[in-house]
Amino acid sequence: MCAHTRENAGAVTNPYAPAEPRDYLWNQLAELPYFRALLRAVESRYYADLPMVAPVLDLGSGDGSFARQTFGRPLDVGIDPWKPPMAEARRVGAHAALALAEGAHMPFADASFNTVISNSVLEHIPAIEPVVAEVGRVLKPGGRFMFCGPNERFTEFHVGGKLLGEGYRNWFNKIARHARLDSEAVWRERLVRHGFEVEQAWHYFSPRATRTLEMGHYLGLPNLITKRLFGQWVLFPSRANPALRALYAWLKPIYNEPTGMPATQLFVVARKREV
């Protein structure tokens, strides 16, 4: 089944969108290793044109950095099962409220939210069906579920996979903590079973972008060292930093690539059917 491209999605009014345009790529590079920054920046820019209606639940809110970088005001609720990221999220303040809980057992009443987002989270959850069912439970009829993550082609274009074969691909997915790499067709079927209809779906992140992300897992070792020693991924997050400026110039054309296949990430907007 062919995916819709982002260009066909149309513009909408989103009260959570930043009031002024943001340079998502630079902002993410100033905080994260470049491979994570590139992917998150690409995803951040999609949300401004999506129909996010309050109240919004951020499923897998993590340390709050993505929500803070992406949205112009705090999301209503963030939920995550891990205590250390939750502590950081409280400091960041990108959510009006936070809940420490599993996605399969959300501490919310039926029909509590109009929108649920989940950014690059669901691929890490082994038992996904109960989570999708819970999303359907906490969403109001007509509410939207917006999520993204790697598709079935994620490791197809990896340099290591070309050289070392399936063993390398399996290893890379293991270190990336991927429990699934589901196709658009698999997601469409799953969503229908749980009472959703897909409004939009598009593929993004080209083979070149994916290889850039792959190599960043190795080239990002200095970031890991500075994080361990100093508590931050990037030591000098200033436009006066020539290394950061060079990274930005290198990544900007990749950041600006259009959506569409071949691509290794999938973004879905689904609507809960009304009774």
- Tell whether 238 is covered by a domain: yes
Residue 128 phi/psi, 5° resolution?
A: -85, -30
* Identity of the residue numbered 50: L
CA 143 → CA 57, 91, 103, 140, distances in Å? Answer: 11, 29, 17, 5
Residue 225 placed within a domain:
yes
The answer to whether 160 touches 211, Cβ cutoff 8 Å, is no
Residue 73 belongs to some domain of the structure: yes
Order of strands, sheet of 139-150, starting from the edge strand that comes earlier in the sequence: 95-100, 75-80, 56-59, 113-119, 139-150, 265-272, 196-204
Question: Which two three-digit tokens encode residue 75?
Answer: 């999301």
**136: nearest Cα among 160, 113, 166, 168:** 113
Q: What is the CATH number of the domain that holds 198?
A: 3.40.50.150
Place of tokens 């995916």: 3
Residue identified by tokens 């990430």 is 265
Name the residue type at position 183: S
* Structural domain includes residue 1: no
Burial (Cβ within 10 Å: 0-12, 13-18, ≥19) of residue 20? exposed
State the pLDDT at residue 275.
75
Number of domains in the chain: 1
- Looking up tokens 């390398």 gives 168
Rounded CA gap, 31 and 126, in Å? 29
Q: For the whole model, what pTM was predicted?
A: 0.91
Instruction: Count other C-beta atoms under 10 Å from residue 141's C-beta.
Output: 12
What is the amino acid identity at position 16? Y
Domain range for 180: 6-272
Do the Cβ atoms of 164 and 193 come closer than 8 Å?
no
In a domain, 125, yes or no: yes
- Any domain includes 168: yes
Which residues is 9 bridged to in the sheet?
none
Q: Is residue 45 included in any domain, yes or no?
A: yes
Predicted pLDDT at 222: 76
Task: Report the pLDDT value the prediction gives residue 233, as an integer from 0 to 100.
Answer: 66
Q: Which of 53, 50, 27, 49 is nearest to 40 (CA)?
A: 27
Whether omega for the bond prior to residue 262 falls within 30 degrees of 0, making it cis, is: yes
Q: What is the pLDDT of residue 5?
A: 41
Residue 243 lies in a domain: yes
CA distance 29 to 40: 10
Report how far residue 113's alpha carbon sits from residue 122's, in angstroms, rounded to the nearest whole number: 19
pLDDT in single tens digits along all 275 residues of the chain = 333 344 444 456 799 999 999 999 999 999 988 889 999 999 999 999 999 999 999 999 999 999 999 999 999 999 999 999 999 999 999 999 999 999 999 999 999 999 999 999 999 999 999 999 999 999 999 999 999 999 999 999 999 999 999 999 999 999 999 999 999 999 999 999 999 999 999 999 999 999 999 998 888 777 777 777 767 767 777 888 998 999 999 999 999 998 888 999 999 999 999 97
